[in-house]
Amino acid sequence: MSSVELAVRGHALAPRINWRWRQTALAVLAWVAVALLIIYWPNATRQWPMTQGLANLCLAVALAITLLSIAGYRFARVAKPLRRATPWLIALPLLLALWELLTAKLALLPLPFFAPPQALLAVYVGDWPRLAQSLWHSALLLASGVVLGAVTGFIAGVALGWSSSIGYWLHPLLRILGPVPSTALLPLCFFIFPTSWSASVFLIALATWFPVTVLTWSGVASVDQAYYDVARTMGAKPRFLIVQVAIPAALPHVFVGLFMGLGASFSTLVVAEMMGVKAGIGWYLQWAQGWAAYANMYAALLLMALACSGLISALFMLRDRLLAWQQGAMKW
């Protein structure tokens, strides 16, 4: 490439680079402006705790964006995700400023139902042991139920898709029990099972079992018959056909069922923990609502949303690693 072509190309890219730097600078200025608003605009009703801490956090975010933008000059792996996140890095401080104005500064939203952002930060700082204990308890309960439901659902789905005899007996049961919300069985489960923990595990497993079973069944049943014929001509036994042909071909459907089951299990988790469980995010939400501690309730909801999103993202990473040939077919 000649020097003239390089100069023309650089001249064409210059407006785009300048616009990206303007966006980054706008994001930094937005976070700094929110910090100044939090510090210097007086509160309408009272001096909220962690007001200075929230302002310092905004300044720390502005500093982090500045350092990342400088690093992005040398490292493309830093510049690309920062470039994609820049619009959100501009929108988030604007939303935070609006939240701060409507609650702490102007008191347009009534207390205690609407807490300012520094109140949530105070919950994370002051009540983190109880929140961490609740999150750990919920993680154990969720993992027990999801693993049990996913394993049994996978086995049932493979059996339904492979054997018509098994499908004859399980299909009516699946059609009757599957569409029933697991939370509807809450009173019955707490009567049958000896502890609230075992009842909650069963409800979460049931919420996961139905989508995993249906999607696994659909995946096994939709495998092209030619795959089986080719394997049989090479002397494959039924066990080989199931393990090496049917299950790998059905894995995309299995992961869709896992995604659906994980989402359903979170809603079931919260409801189950509100009934007789002495720890967990659902218990924490009920406790906060009972004491009208709405800041604690919003903090727990935000923590639960982040945990759910993180788990689904981790499941997508596992899916993309196992099914590299289908990477990008499903987004999250």
pTM, entire model: 0.80
Do 155 and 111 belong to one domain? no
Do 196 and 295 belong to one domain? yes
Q: What is the dihedral of CA 186, 187, 193, 196, to 10 degrees?
A: 70
End of a domain among 67, 90, 117?
A: 117
Do 17 and 51 belong to one domain? yes
Maximum distance among all Cα pairs of the chain, rounded to whole angstroms = 81
Distance between alpha carbon 179 and the CA centroid of its chain, in Å?
24
Do 32 and 168 belong to one domain? no
Do 101 and 159 belong to one domain? no
Q: Which domain holds residue 76?
A: 3-117
How far apart are alpha carbons 294 and 286 in whole angstroms?
A: 10
**CA-wise closest residue to 134 among 306, 279, 289, 300:** 279
- For residue 87, tell me if it sits in a domain: yes
End of a domain among 117, 150, 167?
A: 117
Q: What is the pLDDT along the chain (332 residues), one digit of tens a residue?
A: 555 444 434 444 444 456 567 888 999 999 999 999 999 999 888 888 899 999 999 999 999 999 998 887 777 787 788 888 889 999 999 999 999 999 999 989 888 889 999 999 999 998 999 999 999 999 999 999 999 999 999 999 888 888 878 878 887 887 777 777 777 787 788 788 888 888 888 989 989 998 999 899 888 888 878 877 788 888 778 788 888 888 888 888 888 889 888 888 888 888 888 776 777 888 888 888 888 889 999 999 999 889 888 888 888 888 888 776 665 555 55
